[in-house]
């Protein structure tokens, strides 16, 4: 596996490929890799001739400096995992390579970014828009892979690519979970074994919300009851929302043919976790 640290190295690498018919798959990550990331890589490996993974902990998408400072980093292990997964290239830029100066550009994703993560992490999706645009411009992949665990991010990246007429196909894959149901996340590395058990309240609440919505219960009363469960467990629930899966519009009921998902964010011992389940599929 080649490790490329600069845009120029990527450009050279791509220009030396045997022919320009080769299909390229990009999996953008922030490292501290787990089976969720590796599932994206596996799909990319299956679909594309050349697989490039990027690892870059992007400062412009962090609204909370402590979250950025504590973001897990396990580079040696990541490199081993990527080699085992037969990745061709790791793009591993330094901060200055991506941001030689502070970007003046910012993104607003009208209607998509004022709820959920966008509401509680101001500037987050502008930062995601900037880094994803940069990575797509540098690598020029045919396909790029993202996880549905970050449901709102998927909607935003699809919009970004459409609005900027970028020639890339966005592929999304379902959330990979521990056997317990806990969604895999790099930030789980900051949880103790006890915290991982406490964190199960997220997926349990999502499943309960889904079941009750489908049995015709009122959304606001479902949400109130779940908020009380969180208060009882002393876990800080940041949001629990029923949204349209693609437009991110907040909903207060399910309806046939309207794809919707329940999304959650909560702090378990100071670690912010997110998750979602689809209630009605497209």
Provide the annotated binding site for ATP: 30-37, 147-150, 176, 184-187
Q: If binding is defined by CB under 6 A, does position 187 make contact with ligand ATP?
A: yes
One-character DSSP codes across 178-244: -TTSPBP-GGGGGS-HHHHHHTHHHHHHHHHHHHHHHTT--HHHHHHHHHHHHHHHT-EEEEEEEEE
d(CA 86, CA 59): 28
Binding flags for ligand PAF, 107-136, as an x/- string (CB under 6 A): ---------------------x--xx----
Q: If binding is defined by CB under 6 A, does position 150 make contact with ligand ATP?
A: yes
C-beta of 176: minimal distance to ligand ATP in Å?
4
Residue 38: C-alpha distances to residues 26, 172, 259 (Å) = 12, 13, 27
Q: What are 196's two structure tokens?
A: 């991982």
Q: If binding is defined by CB under 6 A, does position 126 make contact with ligand ATP?
A: no
Q: If binding is defined by CB under 6 A, does position 200 make contact with ligand ATP?
A: no
Q: What are 128's two structure tokens?
A: 């995601």
Q: If binding is defined by CB under 6 A, does position 30 make contact with ligand PAF?
A: yes
Q: Which stretch binds ligand ATP (CB under 6 A): 10-18, 134-142, 144-152, 213-221?
A: 144-152
Q: If binding is defined by CB under 6 A, does position 78 make contact with ligand BAL?
A: no
Would you please indicate which residues are annotated as catalytic (active-site) residues? Answer: 37
Residue list 34-63, contact with ligand BAL (CB under 6 A): 61
Among 37, 43, 124, 223, binds ligand ATP (CB under 6 A): 37
Size of the site for ligand ATP (CB under 6 A): 18
Backbone angles phi, psi at 181, to 5 degrees: 110, -15
Q: What are 190's two structure tokens?
A: 């900051």
Within 13 Å of residue 149, how many CA atoms lie on the same side as its CB?
23
Interacting residue ranges for ligand BAL, rule: CB under 6 A: 61, 150
């Amino acid at each position: 596996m080649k490790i490329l640290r600069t845009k120029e190295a990527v450009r050279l690498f791509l220009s030396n490929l045997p022919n320009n018919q080769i299909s390229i798959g990009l999996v953008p990550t922030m490292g501290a890799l787990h089976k969720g990331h590796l599932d994206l890589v596996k799909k990319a490996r299956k679909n594309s001739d050349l697989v490039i993974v990027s690892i870059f902990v992007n400062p412009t998408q962090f609204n909370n400096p402590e979250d950025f400072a504590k973001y897990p980093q396990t580079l040696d292990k990541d490199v081993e995992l990527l080699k085992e997964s037969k990745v061709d290239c790791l793009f591993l830029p330094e901060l200055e390579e991506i941001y030689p100066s502070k970007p003046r550009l910012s993104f607003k994703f009208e209607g998509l970014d004022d709820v959920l993560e966008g509401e509680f992490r101001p500037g987050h999706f502008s930062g995601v828009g900037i880094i994803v645009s940069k990575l797509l411009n540098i690598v020029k992949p045919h396909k790029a892979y993202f996880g549905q665990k970050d449901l709102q991010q998927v909607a935003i990246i699809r919009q970004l690519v459409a609005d900027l007429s970028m020639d890339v196909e966005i592929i999304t894959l379902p959330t990979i979970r521990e056997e317990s149901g806990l969604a895999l996340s790099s930030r789980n590395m900051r949880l103790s074994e006890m915290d991982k058990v406490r964190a199960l309240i997220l997926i349990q609440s999502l499943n309960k919300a889904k079941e009750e919505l489908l049995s015709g219960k009122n959304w606001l009363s479902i949400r109130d009851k779940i908020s009380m469960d969180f208060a009882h467990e002393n876990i800080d629930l940041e949001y629990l929302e029923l949204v349209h899966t693609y437009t991110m519009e907040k909903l207060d009921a399910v309806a046939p043919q309207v794809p919707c998902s329940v999304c959650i964010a909560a702090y378990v011992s100071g670690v912010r976790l997110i998750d979602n389940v689809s209630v009605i599929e497209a």
